[in-house]
Amino acid sequence: MSEQKKPENVTKSIKIKEPPVLFKETQTLIKQLEKKFNAPVFCYWNNSRGGVCSNDVIALFDALEQIEHQKTIYIFIKSDGGNGEASLRFVNLLRQHCDELIALIPLECSSAATMIALGANEIQMGPMAFLSAIDTSLTHDLSPIDRDNDRVSVSLDELNRVVKLWQNENKENSNPYQHLFQHVHPLVIGAVDRAESLSKMLCEEILSFHMHDTEKISYISDTLNSKYPAHGYPILLNEAKKIGLNVKSMDHQAHQILLDLNNFYSEMGQKATTDFNEIKAHGNEILNILETTNKQLYYQQDKDWFYRSEERRWITMNDNSSWRKNESIDGQIKSSILHIA
């Protein structure tokens, strides 16, 4: 009796989903913006799972190297935030290439992205636009673990509120930290406290690129870091004016072009997950995009995911994630990998 043929690996027969790359479509809109503003336009876009990080600075340098020093540069920002130190480096690099920086904010520009906006001489905001508070939170190696076995982010504001509530409600006058340390490691509390000082310093340094009134700089930084009760509190145009930022309403035509551009970026940044079974999948997703005329750079996550049930967490293998680049050279589109260590 002949040997029964074994079925082929199911994963080999499933086509890996790929996110679309819409270079021609986005370039058309960027050229419309540059014609309208008569100045270079840079776009910085993160999807909800991307964020401001140090590698973005290297990608920005690659995008900036094609232009000489400019009187004015416009930058479209759409991001939920990320690393504050990267924001300072991002702004520093932009300011080296222009006398005046104008930020275009049609939608969310939160946390570390708000820090980038602080580096602009002028912030133009659309009807749906908002900045946010920059209160400090971090995920430490000793942070508490959630139900999915992941480290949770700890906020200094949350810690301060727990201590304040304890002191107001506890009539025995016992030490709140004695009980707090049972849930949050003391080194985490120390690290978060230090991070708040760093956050204020970063804001002041970024504002000093175009402001010279030290009292005003200190007031704006303290307000963004300490005034608001929630990290995600939306700072709208009128509130931004009250803080002391130079903000204005965005032109309707520019706003519409930016929304169209965001639609294309959102299509590029859609989640492209290929499920092989309940414990194995492949993630293929564009997280960060940085683009200007004739050049588009984007970070694409490209790796396998496995669920390790005994640890209750997902692990990755076969990671081919990288920064990728599209350039228009003599009418031809050239694609390559941008190697960032």
Q: Out of 49-58, 94-103, 288-297, 303-312, pick the least confident.
A: 303-312
Q: How far apart are CA 276 and CA 11, in angstroms?
A: 6
**Claim to verify: residue 129 and residue 143 sit in the same structural domain:** no
CATH number at residue 269: 3.90.226
**Claim to verify: residue 123 and residue 165 sit in the same structural domain:** no
**Claim to verify: residue 33 and residue 143 sit in the same structural domain:** no
112 domain-assigned = yes
Q: How far apart are CA 310 and CA 319, in angstroms?
A: 22
pLDDT (tens digit per residue) in 213-254: 999 999 999 898 878 777 778 999 999 999 999 999 999 999
Instruction: Give which of 147, 175, 143 is closest to 162, Cα–Cα.
Output: 175
**pLDDT of the residue at 45:** 96
Number of folded domains that form the chain: 2
Q: How far apart are CA 113 and CA 81, in angstroms?
A: 5
**Claim to verify: residue 236 and residue 124 sit in the same structural domain:** yes
**pLDDT of the residue at 10:** 52
301 domain-assigned = yes
Identify the domain containing residue 163 by its residue range: 139-192
**Claim to verify: residue 173 and residue 100 sit in the same structural domain:** no
pLDDT (tens digit per residue) in 14-45: 888 888 889 999 999 999 999 999 999 999 99
**pTM (two decimals):** 0.82
Give percent above pLDDT 70 in the chain. Answer: 83
**Claim to verify: residue 59 and residue 148 sit in the same structural domain:** no
**pLDDT of the residue at 297:** 94
Q: How far apart are CA 161 and CA 158, in angstroms?
A: 5
Q: How far apart are CA 100 and CA 76, in angstroms?
A: 14
**pLDDT of the residue at 276:** 82
**Claim to verify: residue 284 and residue 144 sit in the same structural domain:** no
pLDDT (tens digit per residue) in 295-340: 999 999 888 888 888 777 788 888 888 899 999 888 889 988 888 8
Q: In the numeric block, which tokens belong to residue 174?
A: 């016992």
277 domain-assigned = yes
* pLDDT of 279 higher than 50: yes
3 domain-assigned = no
